[in-house]
Amino acid sequence: MTKRILPVLAGLALVAALAVALSSPPDVLQGDFVRILYIHVANAWLAFLAFGVTAAASIGWLVRKKPGYDRVAAASAEIGVLFTAVTLFTGMIWGKPIWGTFWDWGDARMASTALMFFVYLGYLALRRATPDRQARARRSAILGVIAVVQVPLVYFSVVLWRTLHQGLTIRPDSVQMEPAMLVALLVNVGAFSLLYLALLTARVRLARLEEAVEAHERAPAGRAVTAPRLETGQ
């Protein structure tokens, strides 16, 4: 039942979120461009959540070796990469009018988000490159664990790089928020959370179906080998 309710709910919530984002008051400094941030921030948070779920599921797989953990880890990483891409894209189109540039090396979060994007692109590439399911689950779970240890350091090092060379910069988006805008942001976070859940459950279900198709009528490997059709002396 949830497999129909969740997508519908997520769809409705996204429509509502869009309506709230478009009807909320324009920002004093950013004008209408602030509306991009509702989607941008919501996607960024969800991307972090998604990679967090991948990390937890990776550890879960290493401890329990249950295929369910692997499906969740993989699905969540795929969605996380998608959300990170949206985060980077919306960040850039917002940055052009507000900061005057698509890419601002002064913002540590942009650089570390981009690096995280590459880490999990690598994660997905490793999965694609590993044909055997058990090996794929093991290798990607291990990478998931290494990433958990290393990603905070990547983030920290980029922050350190900025703070030591430029000093902390105050950005317009860190200024106190108006209540109407906070509501718009929270509605968007809620809507994208529902979208995340809907995509996650659908992707996990799809993975299970893929495995079922693969398993369908598989005879032992040895049965595929028959006697040669050749005879000597012909």
Binding site for another protein (CB under 8 A): 62, 115-116, 118-119, 121-123, 125-126, 129-135, 138-139, 141-143, 145-147, 149-151, 153-154, 156-158, 160-161, 164, 211, 214-215, 218-225
Name 2's Cβ contacts closer than 8 Å, sequence gap at least 6: 201
Question: CB of 140: closest distance to another protein in angstroms?
Answer: 9
Closest CA to 116 of 84, 92, 93: 84
Cα separation, 103 vs 111, whole angstroms: 9
Question: CB of 55: closest distance to another protein in angstroms?
Answer: 12
Closest CA to 13 of 194, 159, 138: 194
Question: CB of 119: closest distance to another protein in angstroms?
Answer: 5
Q: What are phi and psi of 27, to 5 degrees?
A: -80, 150
Nearer to another protein, 98 or 141 (CB): 141
Question: CB of 16: closest distance to another protein in angstroms?
Answer: 36
Cα separation, 160 vs 48, whole angstroms: 20
Question: CB of 222: closest distance to another protein in angstroms?
Answer: 4
Closest CA to 156 of 124, 112, 196, 106: 112
Nearer to another protein, 26 or 152 (CB): 152
Nearer to another protein, 37 or 47 (CB): 47
Nearer to another protein, 115 or 186 (CB): 115
Residue ranges of alpha helices (H) inside the chain are: 2-23, 34-64, 67-99, 108-129, 133-166, 179-215
Nearer to another protein, 99 or 136 (CB): 136
